Amino acid sequence: MGPDNEKTIRSSIISDMSEGVMAIRCDGRIMLVNDAALHILEMDRQQLEGRSFAACFFGEERNDAFTETVLEAVRSRGRRLETYVPYYTETACRQLRVVSSYLKQGEERIGVILVISDITELAGLKDAVRAMEAIQDLNKKLEIRNRLLQDTFGRYLSDDIVREILDTPDGMRLGGHRRRVTILMSDLRGFTMMCARMDAEDLVAMLNHYFSVMYEEISRYGGTVIEFLGDGMFILFGAPVPSSRHASDAAACALAMQKRMEEVNGWNRERGYPFLSMGIGINTDEVILGNIGSEKRTKYGVMGPAVNLAGRIESYTTDGQVLLSGTSLEAIPERLEIADSFPVFPKGVETPVTVFHLTGIGGGYGIFLEEKEEALTALPEPLPVTFRVLSGKHVEEETFRGLLLALSDQGALVQTGTPLQVRDDLVLDLGGDAYAKVRDRRDGRIRIVFTARPAGFSAFLKAAGGDSHA
């Protein structure tokens, strides 16, 4: 799921807790308070959220013990505190138990979370054993809920986005601002066909392992996952935390991700899962960042033509490729290894865009990919083949003909008079629909790379035969 703001967290996790929860930033500003806390303190949400704790509570001298407990929790940051204090409302004097823990960003404490319990009834118990048992039971419940709260902040929101919400007084408001960033889009080839063939449990297990391995590299190079897009990822560099090296970090991250695919496929092979290949597109430009949505449901979003162009660039990749836009290339000071460059004509862009096939980055990164092109097995006799052109998500109706000259598990060599261009997407009949992209064209022959193979492809490959290489 994408990152949601604190209102979503409050409604889905803490709004029905019987214990009060209050999150306070290190400068004393109240960022979050749940319904139970409002009930215990007999205050309205408008009186507390977004305001200074001191401004809200210093006016009542009878509650000095409570205010001093909270201020000590904010000042200490690094210690877990547990205190029992009286708290006076207009209708009663309550006995409160206040437990504080801290929110952490890396090694830095960025705020505190207070869990407030009304133990007035427990304090009035004469039976000490019953009181102790009740308090111990309360401790267990609070520990479980506190852990859930901490885990949720870290799991469903990226650390950087959580920090921005907590550190910025207006961090929860709708709105946006412009910033130059680098966008990385990744996608698995042939995923739609995998969905049709695999059991749901196996498919999710395979995807979860793939995402886990990729996230290690994304985190290492300072990227923020904005969304998981089915089998793809939308990753941002340079926001929410600004960085002067966002383009370099994105390029290094993309190369590192491609290197880890060998590990991913080794894991898949051991479990009988299919081979995965990934394409990555990178673009650097100005975007609009901020909280997008409604007052009831909001997400940290990124908008602008730069996002669409990153997705278009990714669509031109074949297996294992990283393609850069010209703006990303210009923004990277390190030495780059570029295997190829070519113009593309993305939908919605008036002029051709040159993209660059990145295979390595030097400087302090030192990451280089080995170009591996599988040898094709020449067929004993040319094999007639029919194919159609894939335009966007639509397969054209016109059928073209050619001769299959050589074949492998990853690609083929086809002779055809059809005026195809490098990067054109095709659908060939090879024991079923095989999806491919044109990688090279010379002398009426095209070299294609498969992006998805049909279930009957192995049998087709075996029947085609051949024992020499083209």
The whole-number pLDDT of residue 270 equals: 94
Q: Per DSSP, what are the bridge partners of residue 361? A: 336, 367
**What phi and psi values does residue 251 have, to the nearest 5 degrees?**
-65, -45
Map 268-300 to HEC letters: HHHCCCCCCCEEEEEEEEEEEEEEEECCCCEEE
Neighbours of 356 (CB within 10 A): 20
Backbone torsion region of residue 103, taken as left when φ is above 0, otherwise alpha when ψ lies between -120 and 50, otherwise beta = beta
Angle between helical axes of 200-220 and 246-270 (0-180°, round to 10): 150
Radius of gyration of the chain (CA): 29
Q: Per residue of the chain (470 residues), what is the pLDDT tens digit?
A: 444 444 444 454 555 577 888 888 887 888 888 888 898 999 888 888 888 888 888 878 888 999 888 888 877 755 678 888 899 988 888 889 888 887 766 666 777 888 898 888 776 655 555 666 666 676 666 666 555 555 545 554 455 655 555 555 454 455 578 999 999 999 998 787 777 778 889 999 999 999 999 999 998 999 988 888 778 999 999 988 889 999 999 999 999 999 999 999 999 999 988 888 899 999 999 999 877 766 566 666 788 999 999 999 998 888 789 999 999 999 999 999 999 898 888 877 778 899 999 999 999 999 999 866 667 889 989 999 999 998 766 778 889 999 999 998 888 999 999 988 888 889 898 888 888 888 888 888 999 888 777 777 878 888 876 443 33
The whole-number pLDDT of residue 1 equals: 40
Residue-range domains of the chain with CATH? 6-167 (3.30.450.20), 175-368 (3.30.70.1230), 377-469 (2.40.10.220)
Residue type, 405: L
Which pair of structure tokens corresponds to residue 184? Answer: 């990385």
Q: How far is CA 157 from CA 32, 164, 293, 378, in A?
A: 15, 11, 16, 52
pTM: 0.61
The whole-number pLDDT of residue 3 equals: 44
